[in-house]
Amino acid sequence: MKNSNQPMMKERFYPVRHIVLLALAIFWLIPIVWLLLCSFSTSNSMSISHFFPEKLSLIQYKNLLFKTDAANQFPRWMLNTFLIAAFNCLISTFFVLQVAYAMSKMRFRARKGLMNIGMILGLFPGFLSMIAVYFIMKTFNLTNSHIGMIIVYSASSGMGYLIAKGFFDTIPNSMCEAAKIDGASQNSIFFRIIIPMSKPIIVYTSISAFLAPWVDFIFAKIMLNSGIAKDWTVALGLYGMLDRSRKNLYFGQFCAGGVLVSIPISILFVVMQKFYVEGITSGSAKG
Amino acid sequence: MKGKFKQFLGSIGHYFSDFGAAVVHGDWSVKLSLVFMGAGYIRRRKYLYGVFLLAIEVFFILLAATFIAPNLAKFGTLGTVKAEMHFDDVLFTNVWNDFDNSFKILLYSIISLVAILIFALIWISSIKGAYSLQKMDEQGEKPPTIRDDISSAMNEKYYKTLLAVPVGGIVLFTIIPLIVMICIAFTSYDEQHMPPAALFTWVGWANFKQLFTTSLTSTFGYSFGKILRWTLVWAVLATFTNYFGGIMLAMLINNKRTRWKKMWRTCFIIAMAVPQFVTLLLVRNFFADQGIVNTICSNIGLTSLLKKIGLVPAYLNYIPFLTNPNWAKFMIIMINIWVGVPYLLLIATGILMNIPQDLYEAATIDGANSFQQFRKITMPYMLFVTGPYLINSVVQNINNFNVIYLLTNNVFETSDQLLANSHARETDLLVTWLFRLTNEYYNYKMASVIGIMVFVVCTVITLVAFNFVIRGNKEEGMQL
C-alpha cells in the first residue's frame, strides 16, 4: 500500500504482497475445494483423516439424483425451490418497482409518512412477525404448501423498494415532465419510459428475489414443518441431511447437493454482480 | 423533527376538519350518507358508486355481526371457556365443548380492529366524496364520469393504484403479525398456556419485569444482560472486521503493484457463489471436535502447543473450536469474516474506483504518505458513501440469525446453569435466543418481549447513528 500513486517502476514484481494475497486466497478457497473434493469422494461420511479423498467418483451425484429416499428428494427439492423462486421473482419485482416508482417519481401527502413507517418496520426482527404469520397461514391451511411459501416471500417485498427508488431518482424528472406535456399518463410513463430505462435495476431486483428462496433457511424451516421430505426446499433438505442421525450416511450427498445448487446461483450472481455495488451505494446514499 | 411532527398533526387535523365541514355543510343526501353510505352518490346519479358503497356497508355490517363483534367481545379476557372433552350420549363418542382459543381470539380481534379502521376510512372518504359532488352540482360543474375516474387513477392518483396491492401485502403479512406479536408480549402465552388445550390472558408488564429480574425461579435477567452484551459486541465486531477487511483487501488487489487483479478478485468472489447455509454447515463439520481440522492440528502438534499455553483445557485432546464459549465466539467472528469480506470487497472495489485520482496526486505532491492518504482521502470518501450502509449492517448483524444458528445449533451446549435455565447459550444472539424459545420451548411471551427489545436496541442505534455520525445534509456533506 506504499506510495500507491508512484507512476514509475510498473514492471517490478513485488513478492510480499503477492504472497499475502496467495495465502488469503488459499484460506478463502479451502472450504470450497473441500466441498468439491467431498462431493467426488466415495465415502458417505465425513472423512476426518484425509483432506484428499482416496478415490474420486461420481457416486454421490448419482445417488443424489437417482436414488431418492425418505431423506433425499433432491430433484424434487430443486423443482419446489425453482417454482417458489420463479413466482416470488415475478411478484416481488412488480411490487418493488411499483412502490419505488410511486415513492420516487410521484409526490403525495402520505409519501414521507409511508417511507418512515417502512423504515420503522424494518427495525423489527423479521421472524418476530414470522411466528404470527405462521399462525395466520395455519388458519388458512397454507402451511406446508408452496403457495403459502410464495405468499410469505413475496407479500411484504414492497418494503425492499429503497434500492430501486435510488435508481429511479437518478432518472431526470424533466424526462417525465416532457412526456406528460406530450399527453402521456403516469401509467404510460411508468411502463413506456421508466421501465425500459431501468434494465439494470430490474435485473438486480428480479435476481435477488429469485435467489432468496434458494438461500433462505429460516422461513422455510418455520413454514414447512411437516417433516415430509417431498415438501421441502433445497436449503431445508440439505440441512436435514446433516441431521445428527443422518450425518454419517448423507455427508457426501450433502456436498454434491451443495455443488449442484451453487452452479445456477453463481451464474446468476455473475450476471447480478455488476449491479450489486451500484445498488448498495445508490440505494443507501439516497435512501 | 418537531416541525415534521407538527406538520403530521396538522395534516391529521385537516383530515378531520374536512370531514366535519362535509357533515355540517352537506345537504340531506350527504347527511343520509352517514347512515346509508352511497346515498349522496345515488342522489347525484352516480348509481354504480352508490350501490358499490352500499354493498360495502352491508358486507361490513354482516362481518361485524358474525366476526368482529364476537371476537372483540372476548378481547378483554382472551377467552374464558377452557377446552374440555365430555361424553356425548347421542353421538356416543367423546366430543369437545365449544371452547375458546385465545390465540385465535387475539388474532381475529386484531384483524377486526384493522377492518374497522379500513371501513372508517372508506366511510369518511365516501362522505367527503358525496360533499364534493354536491359542491360541483351547486357550482354547475359536471361531476366526473367513470372514465374520468379511471383516467385520474392512471394520472394524478396513480400512486394509489401502484401502492394498493404492495401496501395491502405489507399490512396483512407484516403489520398485523407484528401487532399480534407485540400483544403477546403482554399475555401469558407459553408452554403451560398453549391454545387450543389451555387459555392465556393479559398479564400487563409482567413479562418485561421478568426479563429484567434474576431470582431463584427465573434467570432471564442474567441471561438477557449476558446475551445483550454479546449481541452488541458481535454486531460491532462483525460489522467492522468485515468493513475494514473488505477495504484492505480491495486496496491490496487494486493497487498498481499487484498483478493478476482479476484472478485474485475471482478467487474471493467464488466464495460468495456457494450459498451461505452450505458453507456454514460445511465449516461447522470442518471444525468439529472430531473433525478434520482437529486431526491436522494434533498431527502438527498445534493442539499440544495450545494446551501448554493454556488456551485449551488440559483434559481435552482436541481444540474445542465450536464447543467452548470463548473459542466458539472467536471462531464465529473469524468465520463471519470469511463469509462477509468478499461482499465488502465487491462494494469497496466499486467505490474505490470512483475516487478521483487527482486527489491522490495532489496529496502526493503535498508530501502526504500513503497512510495519511488513506486516513484523509480514502476513509472519508468510503465512510461518506457507505455511511448509511454501515449503520444498516450493524442493525442487520444484530439480527444475523444464519451465521450463529447454523454454526452452533446442535453443536454448542452451555455449561452455565443460569443460562440453561432460561434456555440461552453463551453464543446466542437475542434473535437466536428468541428463535429457540419459540421453536423448542414454545415460550412465545418471552420471545415477543425479546423481539421488542431487539427493536428498541436497533432503533436507538439507528437514531443515534444518523443524528451524530452523519450530520447535516447528505448531498452537501462531502465537498471534494
pLDDT computed for residue B52 by the predictor? 92
CA atoms within 13 Å, Cβ hemisphere of A162: 19
Contact B291 A46 (CB under 8 A): yes
A10 against B152, higher pLDDT: B152
Please indicate if any CB of chain A lies within 8 Å of the CB of B396: no
Contact B258 A102 (CB under 8 A): no
Asked if A245 is an interface residue toward chain B (Cβ–Cβ < 8 A), one would say no
Query: Is there a single domain that holds both residue B263 and residue B123?
Result: no
- CA distance linking residue A243 with residue B142, whole number of Å: 71
Question: For residue B239, how many C-alpha atoms fall within 13 Å in the half-sphere facing its CB?
Answer: 20
Q: What is the pLDDT of residues B196-216, one digit of tens each?
A: 888 999 999 999 999 998 888
What are the Cα distances from residue B6, in Å, to A280, B2, B3, B30, B302?
33, 6, 5, 31, 66
Question: Mean pLDDT throughout B21-37?
Answer: 89
Selection from A224, A211, A186 nearest residue A267 by Cα: A211
Please say if the pLDDT value at position A43 is more than 50. yes
Contact residues for B11 (Cβ-Cβ < 8 A; gap 6+): A109
Contacts of A124 (CB under 8 A, 6+ apart): B178, B451, B454, B455, B458
CA atoms of B78 and A104, how far apart (whole Å):
43
B296 domain-assigned: no
Q: Which domain holds residue B253?
A: 216-287+322-477
pLDDT digits over A171-199, tens only?
A: 888 888 899 899 889 899 999 989 988 88
pLDDT of res. B150: 87
Q: Give the integer Cα–Cα distance in Å for A44 and A71.
A: 14
Q: What is the DSSP letter of B378?
A: I
Q: How far is B324 from chain A (nearest CA, A)?
A: 19
In a domain, B293, yes or no: no
User: How high is the pLDDT of residue A279?
Assistant: 63
Count CB-CB contacts under 10 A for residue B382: 22
Where among B169, B204, B239 does a domain terminate? B204
Closest residue in A to B338 (Cα–Cα): A28
Determine, for residues B285 and A46 on separate chains, whether the beta-carbon distance falls below 8 Å: yes
Structural domain includes residue B209: no
Residue B338 with chain A: CB contacts under 8 Å: 27-28, 31
- Residue-level pLDDT at A285: 40
User: In this predicted structure, what is the pLDDT of residue B71?
Assistant: 93
Distance CA B403, CA B237 (A): 14
What's the pLDDT score for residue A287?
34
Range B307-327 average pLDDT: 87
Mean predicted confidence (pLDDT) in A249-271: 88
The reply to whether B375 and B239 lie within a common domain is yes
Confidence at residue A23, expressed as pLDDT on a 0 to 100 scale: 94
Instruction: For residue B410, tell me if it sits in a domain.
Output: yes
User: Taking CB atoms and an 8 Å limit, are B273 and A102 in contact across chains?
Assistant: no
User: Would you place residue B370 in the very low, low, confident or very high pLDDT band (cuts 50, 70, 90)?
Assistant: confident
- pLDDT, position A1: 44
The band of B239, judged by pLDDT with boundaries at 50, 70 and 90, is very high
- Residue B202 DSSP symbol: B
Same domain for B238 and B357? yes
Task: Give the Cα separation of B278 and B274 in Å (integer).
Answer: 7
The predicted pLDDT at position B472 comes to 46
Residue at which a domain ends, from B172, B204, B236: B204
Using one digit for the tens of pLDDT, what is the confidence trace for A97-133? 999 999 998 888 888 889 989 988 988 887 788 888 9
Query: What is the predicted pLDDT for the residue at B289?
Result: 87
What pLDDT is attached to residue B460? 92
Q: Is A15 exposed, middle or buried (0-12, 13-18, 19+ CB in 10 A)?
A: exposed
Q: What percent of chain B has pLDDT over 70?
A: 96
Of B169, B178, B286, which has the smallest distance from its Cβ to A129's Cβ?
B178
Quick check: A26 pLDDT over 50? yes
Residues B161 and B256 in one domain: no
- pLDDT score at A280: 62
> Confidence class of residue A281 from pLDDT cuts 50, 70 and 90?
low
> Would residue B301 count as lying in a domain?
no
Looking at B148, B179, B204, which one is the last position of a domain? Answer: B204
Mean pLDDT along residues A239-267: 87
Q: Is a pLDDT exceeding 50 seen at residue B424?
A: yes
Taking a C-beta distance cutoff of 8 angstroms, is the pair A20, B252 a contact?
yes
Q: Which residue has the cell 485474485?
A: B264
Do B336 and B247 belong to one domain? yes
Partners of B117 in beta bridges? none
Residues 326-345 of B with CB under 8 A from A: 338, 342
pLDDT over threshold 90, residue A86: yes
CA angle A110, A112, A117 (to 5 degrees): 90
B274, B407: one domain: yes
Residue B165 has pLDDT above 90, yes or no: yes
**Residue A286 pLDDT grade (very low, low, confident, very high; cuts 50, 70, 90):** very low
One domain for residues B355 and B248:
yes
Q: Is A280 part of the contact surface with chain B (CB cutoff 8 Å)?
A: yes
What's CA B458's distance to the chain center, in Å? Answer: 10
- State the best of B158, B172, B389 to mutate against chain A, taking most chain A CBs within 10 Å: B158
- Over chain B, what is the mean pLDDT? 88
Query: What pLDDT is attached to residue A101?
Result: 93
Amino acid at A23: A
Confidence of residue B476 (pLDDT cuts 50, 70, 90): very low
- Whether residues A24 and B374 touch (CB distance < 8 A) is answered with no
* Start-end of H helices in chain A: 15-39, 59-66, 74-105, 111-121, 126-139, 146-154, 162-169, 173-181, 186-188, 195-197, 199-215, 218-223, 234-241, 247-286
- So what's the pLDDT on residue B2? 60
Query: Is the CB of residue A96 less than 8 Å from the CB of residue A205?
Result: yes
pLDDT at B430: 94
User: Would you say residue B162 has pLDDT above 50?
Assistant: yes
- Domains of chain A from N-terminus onward: 15-64 (no CATH), 65-286 (1.10.3720.10)
CA B233 to chain centroid, in Å, comes to 20
CATH number at residue B384: 1.10.3720.10
**Do B226 and B174 fall into the same domain?**
no
Q: How sure is the predictor about B471, in pLDDT bands with cuts at 50, 70 and 90?
A: low
Asked if residue B151 and residue B241 are part of one domain, the reply reads no
Q: What is the pLDDT of residue A278?
A: 65
Judge if B247 and B375 occupy the same domain: yes
Omega prior to A172 cis, within 30 of 0? no
Q: Are residue B120 and residue B188 in the same domain, yes or no?
A: yes
Q: Answer whether residue B210 is part of any domain.
A: no
pLDDT of residue B68: 94
The answer to whether residues B150 and B192 belong to one domain is yes
Q: For residue A188, give the nearest of B163, B145, B161, B164 by alpha carbon.
A: B161
Predicted pLDDT of residue A11: 65
Confidence of residue B310 (pLDDT cuts 50, 70, 90): confident
A13 reaches B (C-beta below 8 A): yes
Enter the ipTM: 0.85
What average pLDDT does the segment A262-280 reach? 78
A273 close to B (CB below 8 A): yes
Q: What is the mean pLDDT of residues B213-240?
A: 92
Of residues A43 and B178, the one with the higher pLDDT is B178
Query: A151 CB near a chain B CB, below 8 Å?
Result: yes
Q: Catalogue the long-range contacts made by A56-65 (C-beta closer than 8 Å, 24 or more residues apart).
A: A59/A252, A60/A252, A60/A253, A60/A255, A60/A256, A61/A256, A61/A260, A63/A252, A63/A253, A63/A256, A64/A253, A64/A256, A64/A257, A64/A260
- Whether residue B366 lies inside any domain: the answer is yes
**Separation of alpha carbons A111 and B272, rounded Å:** 36
Considering the domain boundaries, does residue B303 fall inside one? no
Domain count for chain B, please give it.
2
